[in-house]
Structure 1
């Protein structure tokens, strides 16, 4: 077999399916849902097949779109631009932003904890008042 006669994996009948799947993945979950709805509208077995495929491949229940995750993963796998000063600045800025995000998340957690404690203290105060009122009620009736 000559090198020019090799068959690429994306050619043939399965090639269009792989390309379509990659294209829909690039557009996100909304594109998969739109394709499924259009499949139901034009020819219901196609829509049903897409629905089963989305459930089987777990695309239906992913919490995030592939666009968002690919953009996020690109941020952490940035390659050198060739300019050391810019690369250093970018890395320091990303580190600082991640630190600020962590600090902000810790601040939000402290707020949630304080709110929970305040609600619990209020509950316990109301419970103590109700218990005191129950103790005082028999004395008043006697």
Structure 2
């Protein structure tokens, strides 16, 4: 996810303003915005898990005749060469999808760690400024 996005599941001025505005206009909108702020990070994982569950469930129906699943996988055309080629291609595409899903998960983990590091840096800067603001001195500061 892009950290520079104006509306993201985080406590930013834009999301807070939208939440307050939502409560003023129609309280369920404000409640929905609050839920997005609090639980928005989990939505991606929830959607991915739901999609994988549905894919596994419907993959059991591949062999049934008349099932209009992905490219009618259980339907034979009568041309053995074409049917073998189609199965090979579908298997290759499934492998490619699994590989891309793994890469996406790695990237999401990387972005999460990047966000955590940025948050840690901001927190450390806040603590330094707070310590300096309470009458403490910072080495090298002569002002």
Q: If the length of structure 1 is used for normalisation, what is the TM-score?
A: 0.43
Identify the structure with the greater helix proportion. 1
